[in-house]
Structure 1
Amino acid sequence: MSNQTYTKLKALHLSGMAECYKEMVIEREGGVLTAEEVLTLMVDREEDKRVSTKRQRLIQKAAFEQPQASLSEIDYDEGRILDRGVVLRLETCDFIDKSRNIVIMGATGSGKSYLACALGMSACLKLYSVRFTRMRSLLDDLRLASDLKHTRYSKELKKCNLLIIDDWMLSEIDELETQFLYELIHDRELTDGTSTMLC
């Protein structure tokens, strides 16, 4: 019966519960547990597995330029003029819940992109959807996309919790591109729980 239950849990795509069941029942690890304790452990394991899988999917879909970026690696030397308190407040992702936009400014090579990726990574770990793109790539993708693909891509950008646009206004844009950027940012401002980060 034990192996059948394990197989059924796997077939139902409850792999976290299946592994927990295998450890507790099939391999007979641990002492005697009540049915409620077993069920609680299995449900907790399944939830942990699903949250972990969701985090990995969010990180992959975000397409960070620097996926190794971490807020714990930020350098706060005096010459950088980077306020640790501000970064720690941003790490909470409260600005996303309040639909506040963020602009990261600094000289070329000062670490704006790294900081944006680190904040985006923090948001993914808190289960917010994030998209990272360079402004020129964003505009080129939209220009080349078919109408249907363009509409789908635009909707995705408008709905994600945090949109990070790197290299903001680094190159000139034409009237059509200006209109698209205006509509994108305007629509995101009308959507609760979304924030745009420009760097």
Structure 2
Amino acid sequence: MLKHPTLDLLGQLGLVGMAKAFAELAANDEAASLGHPEWLALLLDHEATYRNDRRLALRLRHARLRHHAVPEDIDYRTARGLDRRLFDMILKGDWIAACENLAIIGPTGIGKSWLACAIGYKACRDNRSVLYTRLPRLIDELALAKGDGRIAARMKSLARVDLLILDDWGLEPLDGNARHHLLEILEDRYGRRSTLVTSQLPVARWYQVINDPTYADAILDRLVHNAHRLELDGESMRRPVTNAAA
């Protein structure tokens, strides 16, 4: 079978989705009954879907989300204080558009990181740039970047992302360099981009984790001042379920 010249032209124009749809329709006898407007509509629909899927894949690759978490898989049945109406509002992303912050707080194993990744996935789906990182790892990376001269570029990239997810906030007290880097990140992002943090500690204890009253006032003012809070409670979801018959 000879290759249709239209396929070559679509390929040259970078219309990969339309090219695939054209080949499928050309091989489908039922497509012969379609009018030109219907053909065009199908081709355009396939191209739009192809581009959306490719864009989402690129966003997710850059986001480096820890969990493959999608909003449709969220468990609202487990008793942990997760209000569906509130979380639906969070997923909608108006707070990201308004450059506000979000804190997810609760005991270990309650699903904070998973929920944060689900929010990140939805933001990627909405064509927003996202970056996930554990705060302890980010602090270590910034210390290395400072040592080899990459710190300015790294800080610039952190400032640009639409949603920065800082997981495991407050696991250990911050040292001087960590406080300084964290303040600079939040200063660059305040009122311009959104930051999501997860923590086992209630907000009232964040002050002592920062470990310096001057820095604590400055950091928390930029992080908590415009932050929505999602506070969870309950048993760890990582605990194995005991079989009653065993």
TM-score, normalised by the number of residues in structure 1: 0.87
* Bigger CA radius of gyration: 2
Partner of 1:101: 101
* Number of the residue aligned with 2:223: none
Residue 154 of structure 1 is matched in structure 2 by 155
Q: State the SS of the aligned residue for 1:198.
A: strand
TM-score, length of structure 2 as denominator length? 0.72
Gaps in structure 1 of 5+ consecutive residues: none
Alignment partners' CA distance in 1, 2:161 and 2:179: 21
Quick check: 1:63–1:131 contact (8 Å CA) kept in 2?
yes
Closer, same or farther: CA 35–182 of 1 in aligned 2, 3 Å: same
Task: Give how far 1:124 is off.
Answer: 1.3
Q: Tell whether 2:62 aligns with 1:56.
A: no
Contact 1:96 1:161 in 2 (8 A): yes
- Deviation, 1:155, is 2.0
In structure 2, what is the equivalent of residue 142 of structure 1? 142
What is the distance in 2 between the residues matched to 1:64 and 1:160?
A: 14
Q: Given that residues 55 and 124 in structure 1 are in contact (C-alpha distance below 8 angstroms), is that contact kept between their aligned partners in structure 2?
A: yes
- Tell me which residue corresponds to 1:15: 16
Shift >6 Å, 4+ stretches: none
Find the counterpart in structure 1 of residue 180 from structure 2.
Answer: 179
Of 170-179 and 86-95, the range deviating more from structure 2:
170-179
Could you say what secondary structure the match of 1:141 adopts?
helix
Tell me how far 1:76 sits from its aligned partner: 3.2
Contact 1:23/1:29 (<8 A) preserved: no
Shift of 1:39: 3.1
Matched, 1:167 2:168: yes
Report the counterpart of residue 195 of structure 1 in structure 2.
194
Q: By how many angstroms is 1:28 displaced? A: 5.0
CA distance in 2, matches of 1:130, 1:163: 6
What is the DSSP-based 3-state SS (H/G/I as helix, E as strand, rest coil) of the residue aligned with 1:136?
A: helix
Are the counterparts in 1 of residues 100 and 191 from structure 2 also a CA contact under 8 Å? no
Partner deviation per Cα, 1:98-132 (whole Å, 9 max, x = no partner) = 11100000011111111111111111122211110
CA contact (8 A) 1:131 1:160 kept: yes
- Aligned-residue CA RMSD (Å): 2.1
- Determine the structure 1 residue equivalent to 2:42: 41
Aligned amino acid, residue 134 of structure 2: R
* Aligned 8 A contact 2:62 2:131 in 1: yes
What is the DSSP-based 3-state SS (H/G/I as helix, E as strand, rest coil) of the residue aligned with 2:66? coil
Q: Percent identity?
A: 34
1:110 aligns to what?
A: 110
Matched letter for residue 137 of structure 1: R
Q: Secondary structure at the match of 2:164?
A: strand
